[in-house]
Structure 1
């Protein structure tokens, strides 16, 4: 056995978070403990297949068909856009995988300990709205289940008015779904890994069942796949560009909050393969199913039914036999399960992180989950899904704010601080803290954020109904990338002119894998145990590796 001197086991670069600033800190916001870093590389690869296996992704896939593209053109646009955004997801989630903190804390590094409140609030709004949208889809699934059991539910007088995606009967399903989802929110996130796998299995079974059923009723895959586009020439070209860019933009929330779920990785490299390969492939497979099912509806009913849940209920209603009702019930049940965990991982988790960061004295991540649930009910999300055009407008609009924030975060981490964050200063309002900037606000970041939004703002207003020239509309198709690049470039220039407290011009300063100071002894003892039986030279090499666990790379 080789004895290792105790002084060699002190990890260099460790920064203890001394005390608590009740307005900036609670334990949920600090770097994750070792025991909570449970998502392996396999988990992340499967996570994307599970996360993208949602009814909303069917919507996005078939919305292009609703506006005139063929099935194959729609698929190509979806895949191309998601390959692009997968790169942004990987890059922006890197800090979370290394330091094991979420999106709100990364905002503090760039925007300041108080300045982070606005971008965090922005993303919280998006997550809450999406949570409501997902709950509408889940409610539609529950309605199909109830319709299969109680035929009379279809005859309830509709009092919802025009523009609503839910009828009065559908609102019953929404209420049931909302209550069931709230029940699942009590489960700790690190313990949900098995539920991620279960969700994927559920979706595959339900999707294949509906795919086989609809293609069979449409007379096989040939008639479905051979349908061409209904637009041509310049109109078609611009529609392809629009949905290629939208394929990336509708994942703007994933790109901005990538660190929220990558923080659960034991090692920084664990999420990479899942992001770059799993994310686009998973989206492609879901898009294939969504497009084929959508195209089948054109043959079966003579119209494109872009909402698969509406399509499922139409199949049930048109032939209300016991077998059809049972099939619709179980397919819808599996869709409900998928929708529940989409709400949790894609919306409740980000919103919970954000709300906890906005009001750490009063709100934990768990409380944030339930606040998100209540607000997402209150915003009447059923009016967002009234038609394909409304839904596409919704997807395309909020991206300009998130892309500008993401541009600042990427530039700050990779070009300004070169991978280094002083963890202790992220949780203090002390004027000597590196992230205090100007009274807690980083002016450089805010100017860059606004400059990144400005080129796209006219297009944003146009997308929301304000009249604008055609050129503005087409320019807005590129809004996500324009906001990302303009904000990032502006931030880099401003930091060159007015350097922040932490700014490096040479070298890469990122630690190998950040460990909370109180857990360093646990890691170092493990390293020491692994060193038993090694030669003196091997021990010295092991000690060097240990010393940079929480320090800077040499």
Structure 2
């Protein structure tokens, strides 16, 4: 392949083979694909720890990172730390916005909340630490810091590696394939499938949406994002500009505007009196807030692409997740104060409850004054309608 393509024949064929391997996994529904994540949860930590120890042993230590002096100081060091933290948060931005795709399958709120509260910060911190030490060790071994674990594994095979080295590289690489496959399915295929299903429920289900995402992922030439560590971190920062605005609107609407109240039954009809009808099915308040959250970072984003921009814009962009999140949330709140969405004015206190099941917005039963049998029938009907609609689109 020509150099202008951004890759070579070997790397493209490997990517294409991985893309093909991903296609069968997209076919399975969410509740069945969990076995892949169980396998990932076993082999990925073993491979990561093995790789970590192996690099330290080969380097006879953790490399120069522990002893080398700082090259930055003062405000430059502080903003470099802020930028690095934003890159880490940007890596988790997809989890923030896509968590409902999986949390909706949980039996209790704690089943979704506690594992994420513990595993996400702890897991990301450990993996980041491993990556830093492995990269530092590579500098001691080969005289250069190799940030990509794939490239470093390739270095292990240079010369005449032993059978043990070949097996170790194979095991770690195979484990990384399983880990990446799980990440690809959870963060890309299922999430895209759920979003596209919500947009076009008559034509697209989660499975079809996943395959559409797979085609788009191939067409966008993703290998260009991995040309260097700077390209990858710049992409992550830009990615968070768009996702942070979505998260700001979602959290403000659920926790502040509707105070935990939701209406499952209204999700499955287009009647004008439904909570989610808005204006012909479009919540223009959310779109306006989303765009406002993006605009606050646009100038700084232009600076990240090489344009000359004011320092203040660069600083705002370096905090892109918080600035985008905060601006979109505040704008959405202001627009709802000026023009409230349906159901918002009735929510006087926070309580996570489905009002379509007859539980009132203030905790009282909407079904009071009717017979208990009629009330229970309405509750079962609402649940049945929602479940049947979800199953027909899965």
Q: CA deviation at 1:186?
A: 2.4
Which position in structure 2 is the counterpart of 1:134?
A: none
| Residue deviations 1:163-209 (CA, integer Å, cap 9, x gap) | 73x42111121121111111222222212333222112111221122
Corresponding position of 1:510 = 352
TM-score by length of 2: 0.85
Tell me how far apart the structure 2 counterparts of residues 509 and 379 of structure 1 sit (CA, whole Å).
42
Structure ranking higher on relative contact order (CA contacts 8 Å, 6+ apart): 1
Q: Note if contact 2:264-2:354 (Cα within 8 Å) is conserved in structure 1.
A: no
- Distance in 1 (CA, whole Å) between partners of 2:106 and 2:355 is 10
2:262 equivalent in structure 1 = 421
Whether 1:288 and 2:132 are equivalent positions in the alignment is: no
Gaps of 5+ in 1: 1-158, 516-543
1:27-426 matches, cutoff 5 A? 159-162=1-4, 164=6, 166-221=7-62, 225-426=66-267
Q: Distance in 1 between matches of 2:332 and 2:35?
A: 41
Whole-angstrom CA distance in 2 between matches of 1:304 and 1:384 = 19
- How far residue 328 of structure 1 moved from its aligned partner, in angstroms, is 1.4
What whole-Å deviation, never above 9, does each CA across 1:357-399 have from its counterpart, x for those lacking one? 2222221111112121122111111111111111111000122
Q: CA RMSD in A?
A: 2.5
| 1:433 corresponds to which of 248, 255, 274 | 274
The verdict on how the C-alpha distance between 1:224 and 1:319 changes in structure 2, with shifts beyond 3 A counting, is: farther
Paired with 1:213 and 1:513, the residues of 2 have a C-alpha distance of: 56
Q: What TM-score, normalized to structure 1? A: 0.61
After superposition, the Cα gap between the structure-2 partners of 1:400 and 1:344, relative to the gap in structure 1 and judged at 3 Å, is same
User: How many residues were matched structurally?
Assistant: 362
Structure 1 Cα separation of the partners of residues 291 and 120 of structure 2: 30
CA distance in 1, matches of 2:79, 2:164: 44
Superimposed CA distance per residue, residues 42-76 of structure 1 (whole angstroms, 9 cap, x where no aligned partner): xxxxxxxxxxxxxxxxxxxxxxxxxxxxxxxxxxx
Q: Is the contact between residue 244 and residue 321 of structure 2 (CA under 8 Å) also seen in structure 1?
A: yes
**SS of residue paired to 2:3:** coil
What stretches of structure 2 of length at least 5 have no aligned partner?
358-375, 384-394
The separation in 1 between residues aligned to 2:352 and 2:164, in whole angstroms, is 59
1:510 CA drift (Å): 2.1
Q: Structure 1 residues 201, 514: CA separation in 2 closer, same or farther (over 3 Å shift)?
A: farther
Query: Secondary structure of the residue that 2:183 maps to in structure 1?
Result: helix
